[in-house]
Chains A and B, each alone.
Chain A
Amino acid sequence: MMQSPQRAAAAEAAEHLLLTLTIAGRLCGIPVPRVRDVLANQAIARIPLAPPEVAGALNLRGRIVTALDLRHCLGLPPAEAGVTRMSVVVEQEGELYSLLADSVREVLNVPVEAREELPETLRGTWREHAVAVHRLQDELLIELDTDRLLAVGSRGTGEWRR
């Protein structure tokens, strides 16, 4: 498996900014430079036949943004119906995607000393979508790999258009 740019960058940088969010009680982080917007409780239109990670599409000020449910991406149980979810909008190759998290917290400046490689024993989906673990004062922060999260389409087995 090729190393993603984010993994490489994370290994080099002395410190970096992470937007922290929670998914089913876990504290996770996404590099701030990738984040374009954070929104609450948007109406999401379902997209039939889409990969299961795709929660739907939403209207971000006139742009259509595809929403991925981080719970599904990470193999966690779905959120309860009617609960407010947060949209973290990230950009990949000029295209915007919304990552649905349970809540969004503060932006943290994570020092490189606190960074740990992923433990060998980490389970499948987490291992696949995480870049590193950061030791915070009283908890652990899992840094997510946005490129890996957004790679859902390329794993799809559906027929190719054109």
Chain B
Amino acid sequence: MDDLIAEFLAETTEALAELDTALVRFEREGGGGGDTLAGIFRMVHSVKGTCGFLGLARLEGIAHAAETLLGRYRDRELEVTSTGVTAVLVAIDAIRSIIQGLAETGSEPTGDDTALLAMLAEAARDATAPPPPPAAVATADAEPEPAPAPPAAAPAHPVTTGAAAGPDPVQAIRVSLGVLDDLMTLASELVLVRNQLLQVARGQENSPFTTPLQRLSRITTELQEGVMKTRMQPVSAAWNKLPRLVRDLAAELGKKIELELTGGETELDRQVMESIRDPLTHMVRNSADHGLEDPEVRRRAGKPEAGRISLAARQEGGRIVIALSDDGRGIDFARVRARALERGLATEAEIAAMRDQEVARFIFRPGFSTASGVTAVSGRGVGMDVVRTNIERIGGTVELESEPGRGTTLSLSIPLTLAIVSALVVQAGGERFAVPQAAVAELVRVGGTGAPVEWLDATPVLRLRGQLLPLVPLGPLLGLAPPPAAGPIDGFVAVLQTGGLRYGLLVDGIFDTEEVVVKPVAPILRDLSVFSGNTILGDGSVIMILDPAGIGRSTGAQSGTEPAAATLASAQRRDDAAQLLLFRIAGSATPVAVPLSLITRLELLQPERIENASGQLAVQYRERLMPLVPIGAWTPPEAGRAQPTLVFQDGVRAVGLLVEEILDVVEQQLSLRSSEGQPGFLGSAIIGDRATDVLDCAYWLKQGDPAWFERAGGPPPRVLVVEDSSFFRQLVVPSLVAAGYSVTACVDAAEALRHREEGLAVDVIVTDIEMPGMDGFGLLAALRRGGAWADIPVLALTGRQQPADAARGLAAGFTDYIQKFDRDRVLDALTRAIGERAA
């Protein structure tokens, strides 16, 4: 009996989730959708049948009454009315709450359904065709009608009617989550064993195990990926309650709302799914309540009466992006500014200097609300800060874009899975801990050769690019070391950025980053807020995973540490300023600079991991062999000293450049003096009063991987770059060359037009907007007026990225409008532009 109830609960819960969506669709179709109705009827019918069989009297009564009403709709004896659909929805809610009670206690909770049954009976009677009312009531109460759908047939329903299962209903079976979790554990365990074997085999040359080990390794990886896949669910499972929610909200708020869902088939790990359900619901509520205007206001603004909320999910690399947009009134930035000023979050001057995008971030601050009144719908004491906290807890980000009068878009970017994260292993008080890489903004060496730790009373701080960063010494925090005494400290600082918090975690040592399988901590340890989980490392040891947000909260680091207005304003860099990584190469005292945007990651490699295969250095990196290129007079580091490495990655290709020491990240304008003689360097520049060499990435990457610049087949596409700033030319041109384009650069629009007259053939043009003489818009107009390049795609590169600018750019006819430093987006836009042209 217990098994039967469990099975019944599982399938009914699934069926109920689909019912909500189906009913709202049904109501919108005005009862015309025969298939939809048939589906709904079948589901309710199946619930009723099974209940009768299991002796669940309350459930059976309600399901039966609902079925009677639906049956009359199906047979077209009744006009579908909103009241009727509401009655069915209420019935489904009642069924749901009984099911919940059943799941908790194992028996039907007691309750009085008379009012509900009367409501359903009323709706079933309320009609043009007059069926005898007493009959309807009698049917609802008495007629036993024993189980027409025996339980044996029931399991077929949720599977075959599963609209959420995607467009292609393949054969499927029901597997319990416990089994999947066990499989996942076994697969992770296999990965660990594989890693141990690989470590053993590495020391032995010409071992007969080499080949089978490689196969084992590959199969293990595939197995793990396969098991991960079984835990994936379509994202629609997280939003199948939204149509119902929106319908209820619309009724409650007196608005007309259309909900559009796209990309529901995009798959997510079930654990991630659970974490985004509530934030999504909250965001939709917020859009409906604050975002969309009343129908009257919309009509006056020349918009359709019905507001639109659209939710679109798509996969981008290892992440899922879910965008929620509405076509409502948009965010009143003036109001946000005023409120921020009122709350003392920034000074008037700072607020005035901020761009709208920066101002929008205030909305994610706790307790920040511009709503003048609290409504029943969204004034529930939770705000966007909760959404942000929840999303960031799982390593995601939230971004907001809004155009006054046109609407607001919130984009969530979340990892596909929580089960595996990249973590930085650190050491404190003799123990190792893992820090989620997503929270690590940068690593800084302190004391010794690095920056000194300073003391504000008894609080250690680090001066980092002109800002004071509070430090949290990890060892003392965890009770593994005594509190540090004021004075010099040697160690490393991991700058952690999470939510509104930014602080430096002071640790004794830093090891590798590892992909770790996250496991929840035991229930008896759940009240330790500094840990988010634990994991097993490649060497088989168990280590705890730190929760950066929890640590921040437990140390009270949030007060005053939010990079609020001051930081935001100072982060508003001048158009030509770039973030540059400064480092030192072996055998030279001159610092070297490289634009930070070109580097994918900084790694500290343990020297024993570096392999030397016939003069070519390499390292096993994320399941692949990554070539390493030493710069300068490099020698292997002493044992125990980590090798600082700049990792450049392009798709699956990666090359690591070995440097002597990483110095700093600076933000400044570069004026480059080119030097011909020195291969590997573009030239030199003065950075912070010091002559600094500027690295030619292309040169070094080619050393590591000669195929870096080759593209598969065909001549390279030709790009014309029009850019007056020599620095940007130096930045953009190498990255385009590195991506396999043939590039011609010119300094202004006049030179570009000269190239056209000379008959230069190009496939795409990338131009700056603000240039002396003719600007980007002028150039575009000149090109479009005729001539050889009249229909070539033209991309605008800009330092400013305001929605209004982008709109103006696109309106003027630019193919795309991109921010200068966003290398990936530039390359992406080029690929798209060329692809579209070829098509």
Contacts and interface: CB of A to CB of B under 8 A. Distances in A.
Interface in B492-524: 519, 521-524
Nearest to B429: A48
Contacts of A48: 429, 431, 478-480, 530, 544
Interface stretch (B184-192, B605-613, B701-709): B184-192
A143 B519 CA distance: 32
Nearest to A43: B541
Given A48-B431, A48-B479, A57-B534, A66 B525 contact: yes
A117 interface: no
A50 B540 CA distance: 21
B406 interface: no
Given A57-B534, A64-B536, A153 B525 contact: yes
Contacts of A49: 478-479, 528, 530
A150 B522 CA distance: 11
A62 B186 contact: yes
A160 B526 CA distance: 7
A150 B523 CA distance: 10
A160 B336 CA distance: 34
B540 A59 contact: yes
B543 A66 contact: no
B40 to A, nearest CB: 36
A79 B188 CA distance: 33
B540 to A, nearest CB: 6
Contacts of A57: 522, 534, 542, 544
Contacts of A26: none
Nearest to B474: A48
Nearest to A94: B178
B750 to A, nearest CB: 63
A63 interface: yes
B524 A62 contact: no
B195 interface: no
Interface residues of B, number: 33
B520 to A, nearest CB: 9
Nearest to A62: B189
A49 B189 CA distance: 27
A150 B527 contact: no
A152 B431 contact: no
Most-contacted residue by chain B among A45, A61, A62 (CB, 10 A): A62
Contact of A161 (B186, B526, B544): B526
B529 interface: yes
B188 A62 contact: yes
A161 B536 contact: no
Nearest to A63: B185
Contact of B542 (A64, A93, A150, A159): A64
Nearest to B432: A45
Contacts of A150: 524
A58 interface: yes
B741 to A, nearest CB: 47
A136 interface: no
A131 interface: no
Interface string A38-68: 0000010111111100101111011110100
B192 A153 contact: no
Interface in A1-53: 43, 45-51
Interface string A117-140: 000000000000000000000000
A67 to B, nearest CB: 10
A94 B540 CA distance: 22
6 contacts: A48-B530, A57-B544, A62-B192, A62-B536, A156-B527, A158-B528
